[in-house]
Amino acid sequence: MESIQAIKQRFGIIGNNAALNRAIEKALQVSPTDISVLVTGESGVGKESIPKIIHSLSHRKHGKYIAVNCGAIPEGTIDSELFGHEKGAFTGATQTRNGYFEVADNGTIFLDEVGELPLTTQVRLLRVLENGEFIKVGSSKVQKTNVRIVAATNVNMFEAIKKGKFREDLYYRLSTVEILLPPLRARKDDIHLLFRKFASDFAMKYKMPSIRLDESATEMLTKYRWNGNIRQLRNVAEQISVLEERRSITPDTLRQYLPNTSGNLPAVIENEKSESDFSSEREILYKVLFDMKSDLNDLKKLTMELMQNGVSQKVKEDNESLIQKIYGEDENDEVFHEEETTAPVKLLSISPEVTVVSEADKYHFAEDVEEEETLSLHDKELELIKKSLERNKGKRKAAAKELGISERTLYRKIKQFDL
Ligand SMILES: Nc1ncnc2c1ncn2[C@@H]1O[C@H](COP(=O)(O)OP(=O)(O)OP(=O)(O)O)[C@@H](O)[C@H]1O
Ligand SMILES: [Mg+2]
């Protein structure tokens, strides 16, 4: 059996924390079996590497490994994605399609964000787990499959069960073995180690000297709560690497990249799962909402300008930075010169000219209506991007081409939506 150290090296896992080592050890122990595993832990703690370890050390390693983000698939299509459908099962089902459970026969399926599965899908999943049976949507034929399931969640499953959103029997079936990944704030010794690793990766990527934290900044880094965990730490390391000219980082500089640190409260380490598991989600949502509100205000300002002055070169020039902020970089950017598809996806290529307010509507742009539209626009955009990335197996270039945007814009969107 490979050592924990070797596994960490193979899967790029940094850290020496005892709870992290225990999680990897558990993954090693269960990998030769077909036991269902539930990986739990806050958002951004690194849950995605556990099913990969389990699959690649199992006898299924030559079979397929399919990762499904249950939260990203619309409720109406998830059964068909997972279990397939028969031709004519619903409008648009022009051909029979095999679902992931059929395709991954003798392999492993990773059900990420399993807490998001609709109840009807949970019933189907329970059946596969119990006896390997499933039925395609629109079919009556029972099929068999031999799939190992590893699931992950960052939500409190007991809460979900209590609220009737998750079946208790399925929870116990999925979590025969539970692997808990600790939050970063409970891995204090690993924080600076990870930061140095990310700083050196970004120094290589952007071809500049690596940033270094002075002693007090290191202390601040270690005491911070890191509600977004390793994902947030990585983002902070990237932002500082790119934006700061001085390579030696002081607490004053670092503070600017750490939200809500005015009180600089040291992190409280919870030993048990508690309500606080959800605080990070809440904060992330608040941030997204604030960013959207700010974009909305910018849009309003721009719309007003356009209504008053029409679309002219002057308006474009006067509002250049605003337009860039809202709509992103010019798609014909000289540095990233890429072929755009002939029919770009509309949602992603809104130009200011699209924001036309008819004369009759001039005084009826009620705030709540605009907000609702902006929200659904974001949702649709996010969904399009996720789907495209999944279809193209995470290959950004292909996804960008499919979406009709430049790779750089896609990169920005991925960052924006934290995909
Ligand atoms: N120990 C680690 N060493 C290096 N990088 C890590 C480690 N753990 C996580 N990461 C990186 O942190 C990021 C977040 O990890 P991951 O996507 O696995 O989080 P997650 O637990 O699945 O979060 P979510 O619940 O939001 O999906 C990834 O870029 C991953 O590569
Ligand atoms: Mg994940």
The tens-digit pLDDT sequence of the chain (419 residues) is 679 999 999 999 999 999 999 999 999 999 999 999 999 999 999 999 999 999 999 999 999 999 999 999 999 899 999 999 999 988 888 999 999 999 999 999 999 999 999 999 999 999 999 999 999 999 999 999 999 999 999 999 999 999 999 999 999 999 999 999 999 999 999 999 999 999 999 999 999 999 999 999 999 999 999 999 999 999 999 999 999 999 999 999 999 999 874 444 555 444 433 433 444 555 556 556 656 766 677 777 777 777 777 777 777 777 776 666 666 544 333 333 333 333 333 333 333 333 333 333 333 333 333 333 344 556 777 888 888 888 887 778 888 877 778 777 787 778 777 77
Beta bridge partners of 134: 143
Q: Is 15 in the pocket of ligand 1 (CB under 6 A)?
A: yes
Helix (H, G, I), strand (E, B) or coil at 37: strand
Q: Is 370 helix (H, G, I), strand (E, B) or coil?
A: helix
Beta bridge partners of 112: 69
Ligand 1 centroid from CA 222, angstroms: 18
For residues 48 and 112, what is the distance between their CA atoms, to the nearest angstrom?
8
* Euclidean distance between CA atoms 302 and 260, whole angstroms: 30
How many other β-carbons are positioned within 10 Å of the β-carbon of residue 37? 25
Give the Å distance between the CA of 350 and the centre of ligand 1: 32
Question: Residue 281 corresponds to which tokens in the numbers above?
Answer: 């989600």
Element (H, E) at 404: none
Are 60 and 108 in contact, with CB atoms under 8 Å apart?
yes
Global pTM?
Answer: 0.66
The CB density around residue 250, as the number of other CB atoms within 10 Å, is 14
With both helix axes pointing from N to C terminus, report the angle between 4-11 and 18-30 in degrees, rounded to the nearest 10: 90
- Ligand 1 atom with least separation from CA of 48: 18
Query: Encoding tokens for residue 189?
Result: 């010794």
Atom of ligand 1 nearest to the CA of 20: 1
- Please identify, by atom number, the ligand 1 atom nearest to the C-alpha of residue 41: 21
46 CB less than 6 Å from ligand 1? Answer: yes
Q: For residue 278, count CB atoms less than 10 angstroms from its CB and return exposed for 0-12, middle for 13-18, buried for 19 or more.
A: middle
* Residues lying with their CB under 5 A of ligand 2, a single-atom ion: 48
Dihedral (Cα; 234, 195, 212, 5), 10-degree rounding = -140
Ligand 1 atom closest to Cα of residue 153: 25
Per DSSP (E only), the strands in 140-244 are 142-144, 148-153, 177-180, 212-213
Nearest CA to ligand 1 atom 25: 43
Closest C-alpha to ligand 1, atom 8: 46
